[in-house]
Amino acid sequence: MSALARLAAECGIMPAFHDLAGEERLTAPETLAALLAAMGEPCREAEAAERLEARAAARAARLLPEEMIVEAGAAPLVALGAEADWALTLEGEARPVSEGRGREAALPALPAGIHRIDAANGARADRLFILASPEAAPSLADLTGRDRLWGATGPLYGFASGRNAGLGDYEDLAAMAEALGRAGAAFLGVNPVHALGAAASPEMASPYSPTHRGFFDWRHVAVGGEGAEGGMVDHSAARARIDAALERRIAALEPARLGAFAAARGPALARFALFEALSLLHGEDWRFWPEALRDPEGEAARAFAEANPAALRRHVALQMLAEEGLAAAQARAKGAGMALGLHLDLAVGARPGGAETWGSGAHAFGVSLGAPPDHFAPQGQNWGLAPLSPEGLKAEGYASFAALLSAVMRHAGMIRIDHVLGFARAFWVPEGGAPGGYVRMPLAAMLAVTKIIAARNRCLVVGEDLGLVDPALRAALAEAGVMGCDVTQFDWEGEGRALALASFGTHDTPTAAGWLAARDVDWRLRLGQMSAEVAEWVRGERKARRESLGPDPLGAIHRRLAASPAALVAVQLEDMAGEVEQANLPGTVDEHPNWRRRLSIPVEGWAAAPALKETAALMREAGRGGEGETT
Residue 43 scores a pLDDT above 90: no
Is the pLDDT score of 468 beyond 90? no
Q: What is the pLDDT of residues 90-143, one digit of tens each?
A: 999 999 999 999 999 999 999 999 999 999 998 899 999 999 999 999 999 999
What does the alpha-carbon distance between residue 412 and residue 410 come to, in Å, rounded to a whole number? 6
Cα distances from 2 to residues 9, 37, 527, in angstroms, run 11, 17, 45
pLDDT of 568 higher than 80:
yes
Q: Is 458 exposed, middle or buried (0-12, 13-18, 19+ CB in 10 A)?
A: exposed
Buried b (16+ CB within 10 A) or exposed e, 43-74: beeeebeebbeeeeeeeeebbbbebbbbebee
Could you tell me if 413 and 339 are in contact, meaning their C-beta atoms sit under 8 angstroms apart? yes
The predicted pLDDT at position 157 comes to: 97
pLDDT band at 378 (very low <50, low <70, confident <90, very high): low
- Whole-number pLDDT of residue 630: 56
Is 631's pLDDT higher than 50?
no
User: Are 453 and 464 in contact, with CB atoms under 8 Å apart?
Assistant: no
Burial class (CB in 10 A: 0-12, 13-18, 19+), 23: exposed
Asked whether the predicted pLDDT for residue 280 surpasses 50, the reply is yes
Where does CATH 2.60.40 sit in the chain? 67-133
Kindly report the number of other CB atoms within 10 A of residue 11's CB atom.
Answer: 21
How buried is residue 521: exposed, middle or buried, by Cβ count under 10 Å (0-12/13-18/19+)? buried
Condensed to tens digits (0 to 9), the pLDDT of residues 201-238 reads 999 899 999 999 999 999 999 999 998 888 999 999 99
Give the pLDDT of residue 189: 98
Half-sphere exposure of 576 (CA within 13 A, CB side): 26
Reported as a pLDDT band with limits 50, 70 and 90, residue 433 is confident
pTM above 0.95, yes or no: yes
376 pLDDT above the threshold of 70: no
Answer yes or no: is pLDDT of 374 > 80: no
Q: What is the pLDDT of residues 177-195, one digit of tens each?
A: 999 999 999 999 999 999 9
Evaluate if residue 3 carries a pLDDT over 90. yes
**Per-residue pLDDT reduced to its tens digit, 19-29:** 777 888 899 99
Taking a C-beta distance cutoff of 8 angstroms, is the pair 369, 386 a contact?
Answer: yes
Q: Is the pLDDT of residue 41 over 70?
A: yes
- Judge contact between 528 and 595, C-beta under 8 A: no
Cα 531 to Cα 61: distance, rounded to the nearest angstrom = 60
What CA–CA distance (Å, rounded) separates 138 from 292? 45
Which one is predicted more confidently, 86 or 590?
86
User: What is the rounded end-to-end Cα distance, in angstroms, of the chain?
Assistant: 69
Q: Is the per-residue pLDDT at 493 higher than 60?
A: yes
| Residue of 606, 618, 604, 545 whose CA lies nearest to 577 | 606
Q: Strand, helix or coil at 46?
A: helix
Mean pLDDT over residues 374-382, rounded?
Answer: 69
How crowded is residue 539: how many other Cβ atoms within 10 Å of its Cβ?
A: 15
Give every CB contact of residue 484 below 8 A, 6+ residues apart in sequence.
462, 463, 465, 474, 477, 478, 497, 499, 500, 501
Between the alpha carbon of residue 250 and those of residues 134, 256, 315, 398, 598, the distances in Å are 41, 13, 9, 34, 28
Instruction: Calculate the CA dihedral of residues 596, 597, 603, 607 and round it to 10 degrees.
Output: -150
Which alpha helices (DSSP H) does 308-380 contain, by range? 309-335
Report, as an integer, the average pLDDT of 266-294: 98
Average pLDDT, the chain: 95
In 3D space, the residue among 337, 339, 533, 366 whose CA is nearest the CA of residue 439 turns out to be 366
CATH fold of 67-133: Immunoglobulin-like (2.60.40)
Half-sphere exposure of 11 (CA within 13 A, CB side): 28
Asked whether the beta carbons of 572 and 153 are under 8 A apart, the reply is yes
Tell me the per-residue pLDDT of 228-270, one tens digit each, with 9 for 90 and over: 888 999 999 999 999 999 999 999 999 999 999 999 999 999 9
The yes-or-no verdict on residue 324 having pLDDT over 50 is yes
pLDDT at 264: 97
Q: What percent of the chain is predicted at pLDDT more than 90?
A: 91
Residue 550 has pLDDT above 70, yes or no: yes
H helix and E strand count, the chain: 19, 21
For residues 143-150, give the mean pLDDT: 97
